[in-house]
Copies of this chain bind each other. A is one copy, B any other.
């Protein structure tokens, strides 16, 4: 089942206006939720981020509409764990870049099954030549413009890696194509600031919160590539895969011994259980 323009329907093929700026110009945003037994984990954080992105893009949308369409789909899911994607576009427009004076945004909600195999996957990263552009709204907000990520992931796979490491324009660590990064440096949990060209990840936010609750000192600051090699541990965070230990970068091993990644994953599991009724991996 999917929801398109407020209506639940069986088929993924919908009556779609091809002048939609989401399709023509990537003029829109999306969120990906981990859903356990019909409850979207960190729903508020995801919707807050979409509303922030919409404000930044000058895209007017009622939050109630997002809530309504999301609920419509969630109600169909029943027991089980799913990945739900909420896509918002500026809707149809005349030719050109100028934003329509009277926009009719499109909202799409889709679901796919989630698998516990996605969690705690050990990642080998390869540094891509494509830099993350910290001056662009596409770096800070989850817009539809994923061309760089697609190209960087394909390049990484060609090089025998599982994901790419993006540096930013200043040559500092940014993120992978689909996840934020954390490094355990001198016992502290360090992650780059959004001004370095990274998404304000919902799981990134959760990890910062969880770490503080567990007495781990956190630091949001720029990360140099060299620090990844000397770090006690490096891991990636994402709403669907949760925590992924980074075991290598460009063929060189990276430490995995601090135990922080596992500790944080356990705590995230507990948070999911508290919010959604059970851990996603427990059936």
A77 on interface, CB distance cutoff 8 Å: no
Q: Which of B97, B146, B169, B178 contacts A150 (CB 8 A)?
A: B97
With contacts A131-B136, A136-B133 taken as known, whether A27 is within 8 angstroms of B147 at the C-beta atoms is: yes
A22 — which chain B residues lie within 8 A by C-beta?
23
A249 on interface, CB distance cutoff 8 Å: no
Question: Counting chain B CB atoms within 10 Å of each CB, which of A14, A16, A17, A89 scores highest?
Answer: A16
Cα–Cα distance between A50 and B126 once the two chains are bound (Å) = 28
With contacts A97-B178, A99-B150, A147-B137 taken as known, whether A17 is within 8 angstroms of B26 at the C-beta atoms is: no
Chain A stretch 67-108: residues in CB contact (< 8 A) with chain B: 83, 85, 87, 89, 92, 94-99, 108
Cα–Cα distance between A94 and B98 once the two chains are bound (Å) = 32
1/0 contact string of A16-52 vs chain B (CB within 8 Å): 1111101111110010000000000000000000000
Q: Give the A interface residue count (CB, 8 A).
A: 57
Cα–Cα distance between A83 and B24 once the two chains are bound (Å) = 15
**A interface residues (Cβ-Cβ under 8 A, vs B):** 2, 4, 12-20, 22-27, 30, 57-58, 83, 85, 87, 89, 92, 94-99, 108, 110, 112, 129-131, 133, 135-138, 143-151, 153-154, 157, 169, 177-178
20 A-B pairs in the complex with CB atoms less than 8 angstroms apart? A16-B18, A18-B108, A19-B110, A20-B23, A23-B144, A24-B30, A24-B144, A25-B146, A25-B150, A26-B26, A26-B147, A27-B146, A27-B150, A57-B150, A98-B153, A99-B150, A131-B133, A136-B147, A137-B151, A145-B145
